[in-house]
C-alpha cells in the first residue's frame, strides 16, 4: 500500500484529481497492481490525453493525445484483465463555439489500449445522449460501465470472459439497462457526476455515490445484484 498525505492508494483505486498536467487538466487516475500510475485528462483544446508513470518514478514514461475532436471531456478509465485499459469520454454531438456547454447533447465513447496506453484502438459509441460516464472493475473481474442519460443511470455489465470490452463473444454491443430502486423504478438522478466501486470483500456489494433528483447533496447506495441492477440507499 502506498500513502500520499491522507489518501491511501491501493491496487486499482480510482482517485479524482484536479491538478494540471502540462497545461492540461487531469481528471482520472488509476493505480495498477504494480503501482504504475495511469492518468487521463483533457487538453486545453478539449481533446483527451493519457499519461503513464512507472511505479516510484516522478517523470512520465510517455504521454499521448488519444482523441482529437476538440469537444471531448470527462475521461474515465479502468484496467481490465490482460492489462486492457478501457477509457470512456464524452463528445459533443454537434460542435459549437463553446465545447464545454452543459446544455448541448453529448455521447459517451469507448477506446481500448492493449499496450499500456502507448496506442488506443478505434472509438466506439457506448451511450447515446450520455454524459458523466464512469467505469469500475469488480472483485470477480467483471467490469461495469455507466453514464447519465435523460435523468437516469444507464449501465452495461460485462463478465470477465464476456468478450472484448463492451462487446459480447460474437462482437456485438452488450445490452444496456437502467439502475433501479428496490421497487423496480428507475433511479431519477441529477445531471451530475457519480461513481461506484466494488467492495473489497468478495461477494460484498457495489457501493455508489450519486445525487438523487431534487436533492442538494449526494447519497450512498449499494447493490448486491449480479449484475448490479437494484440499488438500496443506506446513507
Q: How far apart are CA 161 and CA 226, in angstroms?
A: 15
Band (pLDDT 50/70/90 cuts) for residue 160 is confident
Higher pLDDT, 189 or 20: 189
Tens-place pLDDT, residues 188-203: 999 999 999 987 776 6
Nearest CA to 105 among 147, 166, 50, 49? Answer: 147
In this prediction, residue 116 carries a pLDDT of: 87
Q: How many beta carbons lie within 10 A of that of residue 114, not counting itself?
A: 14
CB 232 within 8 A of CB 223: yes
- In this prediction the pTM is 0.87
Q: How far apart are CA 141 and CA 99, in angstroms?
A: 35
Average pLDDT over residues 114-129: 94
Q: Provide the mean pLDDT of the chain.
A: 86
Average pLDDT over residues 118-138: 95
Tens-place pLDDT, residues 36-79: 899 999 988 889 999 998 888 878 888 899 998 889 999 999 99
In this prediction, residue 97 carries a pLDDT of: 82
Proportion of the chain above pLDDT 70, given as a percent: 88
Q: How far apart are CA 125 and CA 108, in angstroms?
A: 6
CB 12 within 8 A of CB 79: yes
Residue 4 clears pLDDT 70, i.e. is over it:
no
Q: Is the peptide bond between 227 and the residue preceding it cis, with omega within 30 degrees of 0?
A: yes
- Which is it for the CA torsion 163, 165, 170, 175, positive or negative? positive
Average pLDDT over residues 106-120: 94
Q: Picking from 116-120, 127-131, 196-200, which range would have the lowest pLDDT averaged per residue?
A: 196-200
The set of long-range contacts for 154-162, using a CB threshold of 8 Å and a minimum separation of 24, is 154/127, 154/130, 154/178, 155/179, 155/227, 155/228, 156/126, 157/227, 157/228, 160/81
C-alpha cell at 108: 459517451
CATH topology of domain 2-233: Neuraminidase (2.120.10)
Amino acid at each position: 500500500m502506498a500513502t500520499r498525505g491522507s489518501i491511501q492508494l491501493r491496487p486499482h483505486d480510482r482517485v479524482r484529481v484536479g491538478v494540471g498536467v502540462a497545461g492540461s487538466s487531469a481528471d482520472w487516475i488509476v493505480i495498477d497492481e504494480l503501482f504504475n500510475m495511469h492518468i487521463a485528462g483533457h487538453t486545453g483544446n478539449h481533446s483527451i490525453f493519457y499519461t503513464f508513470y512507472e511505479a516510484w518514478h516522478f517523470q512520465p514514461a510517455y504521454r499521448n493525445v488519444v482523441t482529437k475532436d476538440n469537444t471531448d471531456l470527462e475521461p474515465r478509465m479502468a484496467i481490465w484483465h490482460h492489462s486492457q485499459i478501457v477509457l470512456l469520454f464524452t463528445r459533443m454531438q454537434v460542435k459549437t463555439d463553446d465545447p464545454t456547454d452543459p446544455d448541448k447533447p453529448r455521447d459517451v465513447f469507448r477506446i481500448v489500449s492493449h499496450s499500456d496506453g502507448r496506442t488506443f484502438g478505434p472509438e466506439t459509441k457506448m451511450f447515446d445522449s450520455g454524459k458523466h460516464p464512469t467505469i469500475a472493475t469488480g472483485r470477480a473481474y467483471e467490469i461495469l460501465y455507466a453514464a447519465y442519460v435523460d435523468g437516469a443511470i444507464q449501465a452495461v455489465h460485462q463478465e470477465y470472459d464476456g468478450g472484448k470490452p463492451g462487446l459480447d463473444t460474437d462482437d456485438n454491443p452488450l445490452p444496456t439497462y437502467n439502475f433501479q430502486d428496490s421497487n423496480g423504478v428507475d433511479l431519477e438522478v441529477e445531471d451530475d457526476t457519480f461513481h461506484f466501486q466494488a467492495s473489497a470483500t468478495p461477494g460484498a456489494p457495489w457501493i455508489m455515490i450519486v445525487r438523487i433528483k431534487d436533492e442538494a447533496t449526494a447519497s450512498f447506495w449499494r447493490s448486491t445484484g449480479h449484475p448490479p441492477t437494484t440499488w438500496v440507499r443506506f446513507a
